[in-house]
Amino acid sequence: MNPTQAHDKTPTELREAALHWLLISDPIMKADGVRTMAQQFNDGQIALASAPFLQPDRALPGRPARPLMVSPREVERRSMRTVEGRAAMIHALAHIEFNAINLALDAIWRFADMPDAYYADWLNVAAEESLHFSLLREHMESLGFAYGDFDAHNSLWDMVEKTTDDVLARMALVPRTMEARGLDASPQMRAKLAQAGDPQAAAILDIILRDEIGHVAVGNHWFNWLCVQRGLEPLATYAALARQHKAPTPRGPFNLAARLAAGFTQPELAALERSANGDLHDAGRQQAGH
């Protein structure tokens, strides 16, 4: 499918359109199309309506044949003192952003009967992730490399697949767990790129961190909203969902300022720091009365 065909066939209902772009495998086409979809939604050309039952006609998500997916332990580490090493780190970040486009689109199409603001929030997230991917891809190309030139892992999308049955689990374990880890890692990665003599990459990470605080805040908002709707205590509920879905235990150091800005509460941050010592699940059991 060429870019013109992809745009011509875009549905005019938001959740259907999100599924359409989720299925597109070409990363440049997907990133450009998602930003166009967001603009069309803002202009009233795409509407949020009662979409019919949605069912993808092929495996999700759409992605290119490369990069090759390997386990996280098999992703080769390279010296940041070389152009190739810097390109490999930028590639890893670009792959995270590409997956983040997909997870935002999946959050839109998969979960029906949420408030209109939920879909608008995740559409904005998808558009910003598309911009992040494009900035990283273009910078990587200026270094002589392309998206797909290095191996990558699929941990972020793996958690998306584990949480397909419940929007509460999705909000708890994807934006608030997997993506929030990016808030913690960003300062160190930025420092490494700056020290390696790549101020442009460091500037891109500044943009990404600024926006990712908002993305994690979206997850926090809708997680807490759902807890209120279901009469659940957030801290104990999060701990239970983390156990149920075998979510990775976050490790420090934590970017507490960014996490506060993203809407984490002080009790949650205290539990997070305890989790570095293996105590989060115990705390959750105590709050749940187990």
pLDDT at 87: 94
Task: Please report, in tens digits, the pLDDT of each residue of the chain (290 residues total).
Answer: 444 445 557 889 999 999 999 999 999 999 999 999 999 999 999 999 876 678 887 889 999 999 988 887 777 777 788 999 999 999 999 999 999 999 999 999 999 989 999 999 999 999 999 999 999 999 999 999 999 999 988 888 999 999 999 999 999 999 999 999 999 999 999 999 999 999 999 999 999 999 999 999 999 999 999 999 999 999 999 999 999 999 988 888 999 999 999 999 999 999 888 876 665 444 444 333 33
pLDDT at 139: 97
- The CA-atom distances, in angstroms, between 94 and each of 54, 55, 119, 149, 189 are 29, 28, 24, 12, 13
pLDDT at 266: 95
pLDDT at 156: 86
CA 181/CA 184 separation, integer angstroms: 5
CA 126/CA 15 separation, integer angstroms: 13
Which residues are paired to 232 by β-bridges? none
CA 249/CA 241 separation, integer angstroms: 12
